[in-house]
Amino acid sequence: MTMMEKRAESPHSDIDDQPTKIRRISRACLQCRARKQRCQPLSSTATLQAPCKRCQHHAITCSFETDQISPPDVAPSPSKMAQLVVDLQQRLNRHEARILELEKLPQGGKVRQTDEDTPSHARGAISNAQSTSHQTPRELPLEREDGPSPQVLTCETPASHTSTFSMDGIGLGPPIATLRSLGALSKDEGRLSSHSPELKSKGTPNVLNRYTACDPVARGVLSVHDAQRAIHIFFEHCHPLAPVLNERLRHSWLDLRFSSPTLFLAICSIGARFWDTGHQLPRPMQAVHPRFSDLTALLDMAVSRLLLRPTPADVTLDSIRVLLLYAQWMPCSRDDEDNGASKVPLDAHYQPKSRYNEISAWAVLGLAVRYALFLGLDRAAIAPFEGPIKSVSEEDICRLRVWYNLLTCDFNLMLTSGLPTSLDPAPSAKVAQRFSSHRAAQQPGDLRVSALVGLVAIVHRGMRICNDASGRQLDTLCLRKINVELDEWERSWYIRLRHTESQHNQLPFTSVRWYRLALNSAAVGPVLSSMDRTAPQPLQVWLLQSLGTCLTAASQMLLSLSSYGAEYIWKLDSQNMSTFPDGPFEIDSAAVKRLYYAVDSTWISHTFAVTFLVLCYVRGAIDDDLRIRILNPNASSNPSVLPPHSGSTIARLLRLALDVFDGICQTTSFHPARDFQAIVHDATSLVLVPGQEDVQDGQEMDGSALQSLLDMMNDSGFDWPGNLLNLSTDFPPEWEVDGC
């Protein structure tokens, strides 16, 4: 026996230290706390086990009288500490065994429970609950869809607590909040009674494992190693494209698993979506995790609970984070999923489809907005940054980061779908500079986010002047002003972000190109889709400017993924051929690899950029080098649309788009780009002629192929901006230039 053990076992070892003063740690007894009333001691010299003044007045037993007094805090010896660890491990093993027994419990079965695991004061309550479970179905408190029936349910009148009931200290607020403070409405689902739906004969786990129900590791869906790998994939590849979380969670994911299992599940689901099969092949095959469908089922259950069975305890910042992650990286679905078909593995003969569309995104983001407004996040996230910057904490940074992500997602959905926005970005944009310059900010992610918020504020300000809630009804002056401010914004942020890696194809510059294309395409849409063939609409000068802006933005979106992107992207002008590089546009493998992990809406914008270029060409608006025909003196007044030569600008851009989509889709079993790959192929087939370097004279394009393309786009589940996809007429043969 060592000297340390002898000292630990010595009866005098605990007497050497001076005992610390014991204080009453609870501010209120259990009785006063349940009634939310002030708990006062009998006197200033009252002992620790003396009842409070209110309990003594009502002649009820105070919880202070039954509390067990803990001995003074004394530092345990090493041997005692070792024994504590052993005891704790044994208790943990017993609890894990009981959890496994509960999960394997058949319907209507019983749970074996020993006296060793059950506190003595709880055995009576458990025996009462067990006796209830042996009652006949007529006596069970079952929930019925058609409402309660007096022949099935037996109601008991709650015991009256008139003698102890008091409304002292109750404030008159909203009706639900007022009644909840009196105990009429539960604050969460943590309470369990014999009349709770949790105690049904179905044998379902009770609220004790409510939090483990969403834990993929506890449910056996993921191993600890796979969970760690999924977390790494998310933070390494996905999170930089939509910064919404604290990057420290990458290293503290074990704590996150127990503190917020639903958020842990959401992150693991995204990481499992971008799984890879290993590096043994020359080119690693990307695939979803083998249990991805089970992860999706768990995540759907968690998200549906936030929608269908929420409680005030569910309205947290982590719940908003879960909804934001779900809206930006949606799981996949099977076509026969709603028909109750059996599970089908994600293999070659089964092609899942992304759930992302304007309705699903609008519904999930709308719920996130509701939760945020319920928490007062629109004020609480901004308020700390309006005062001294030294008082801003890391928690304030995290809160505003979530609010910024919600704000930008809401605005991007408006541009993508034409649905109105729900949030005003003006107050948030005022503190963006202080947010990104704080010492606790994550760089360069938070700096890019603050730039994106400023971009949103510019467009929202122009929309408000025009009283336009969707960005599709901007007048001439508003759109021109927005375009000018976007140019100034880009020049300013190019200088501030010039030292960041690959800034030419990352946030926020990818967003400004999409903003330009979405806003200006809405203006030229009616002209490209003229309904009257005999009386073509005159093309005003400002529409020429919008068309040129759209062509430049669409070209930048595609060229940024090429090896020439970093050099040519900033000076690119669709109406100036000298600003384009010569030769074929080879893809930038690093840029495409980053794009692989992008949010789902990214594939909407890139597919629309390809479609816009094709529509402009097949309807005669531009030539094969993207030059607007009305501005080209050498252009024919009534051209027949012919496939371009292989070295033309539009041909090189479309081949680049094909390489990007094919490169991503051929190495993965599920990816949202697959839903749009066929559209890109059909669109480019209208312009490119396979197997020919140059086309023969007089070989015009097939108009039925364009109709097939537009039908496929309409079937893709997304409402494309404007009426560009109207095939009622061809592009007007005559473009009349009118004044502004």
Which residue's structure tokens are 């041909």?
651
pLDDT band at 149 (very low <50, low <70, confident <90, very high): very low
CA 445 to CA 506: how far, in whole Å?
Answer: 10
Q: Which residue has the higher pLDDT, 509 or 151?
A: 509
Cis peptide before 508 (omega within 30 of 0): yes
**Cα dihedral sign, 40-43-46-49:** negative
pLDDT band at 14 (very low <50, low <70, confident <90, very high): very low
b vs e for 218-245, b when ≥16 Cβ sit within 10 Å of the residue's Cβ? bbebbeeebbbbbbebbbebbbbbbbbb
**DSSP run (H or E) holding 593:** helix 589-596
* Range 332-346 average pLDDT: 55
* Range 354-362 average pLDDT: 91
CA 434 to CA 441: how far, in whole Å?
Answer: 10
Least confident of 284-298, 334-348, 609-623: 334-348
Q: What is the 3-state secondary structure (H, E, C) of 239-294?
A: HHHCCCCCHHHHCCHHHHHHHCHHHHHHHHHHHHHCCECCCCCCCCCECCCCCHHH
Q: Is the pTM of this model over 0.75?
A: no
Q: What percent of the chain has pLDDT over 90?
A: 44
Q: Is the pLDDT at 196 greater than 70, yes or no?
A: no
Structural domain spans, the chain: 28-65+175-182, 215-335+352-375, 505-695+705-740
Q: Is the pLDDT at 271 greater than 90, yes or no?
A: yes
pLDDT score of 578: 94
pLDDT band at 581 (very low <50, low <70, confident <90, very high): very high
- Residue 381 has what DSSP assignment? T
Which residue's structure tokens are 């997602």?
409
Q: Is the pLDDT at 584 greater than 70, yes or no?
A: yes
CA 599 to CA 256: how far, in whole Å?
Answer: 23
Residue 648's SS3 state is coil
* Range 552-563 average pLDDT: 96
pLDDT score of 379: 94
pLDDT score of 533: 43
**Cα dihedral sign, 257-87-91-194:** negative
Q: Is the pLDDT at 180 greater than 60, yes or no?
A: yes
pLDDT tens digits along 491-508: 999 999 988 888 999 999
pLDDT score of 185: 58
* Range 77-91 average pLDDT: 73
Per-chain mean pLDDT for the chain: 77
Torsions phi, psi for 276 (to 5 deg): -130, 155
- Residue 335 burial (C-beta neighbours within 10 Å; 0-12, 13-18, 19+): exposed
Q: Is the pLDDT at 344 greater than 90, yes or no?
A: no
pLDDT score of 12: 44
What region, left, alpha or beta, does residue 501 occupy, with left being phi > 0 and alpha being psi -120 to 50 degrees?
beta
- Alpha-carbon dihedral of residues 615, 618, 624, 629, nearest 10 degrees? -90
* Range 346-372 average pLDDT: 83
Q: Is the pLDDT at 224 greater than 60, yes or no?
A: yes
Residue of 687, 690, 679, 628 lying closest to 653 (CA atoms):
687
Q: Is the pLDDT at 733 greater than 60, yes or no?
A: no
Residue 696's SS3 state is coil
CA 550 to CA 558: how far, in whole Å?
Answer: 13
CA 435 to CA 437: how far, in whole Å?
Answer: 6
Q: Which residue has the higher pLDDT, 114 or 61?
A: 61
Q: Which residue has the higher pLDDT, 28 or 452?
A: 452
* Range 116-124 average pLDDT: 40
* Range 710-720 average pLDDT: 48
Least confident of 19-23, 171-175, 477-481: 19-23
pLDDT score of 641: 61
Q: Structure tokens of 422?
A: 């729900």
Q: Which residue has the higher pLDDT, 194 or 220?
A: 220
Torsions phi, psi for 480 (to 5 deg): -65, -40
Rounded to whole angstroms, what are the CA distances from 172 to 179, 180, 182? Answer: 9, 11, 11
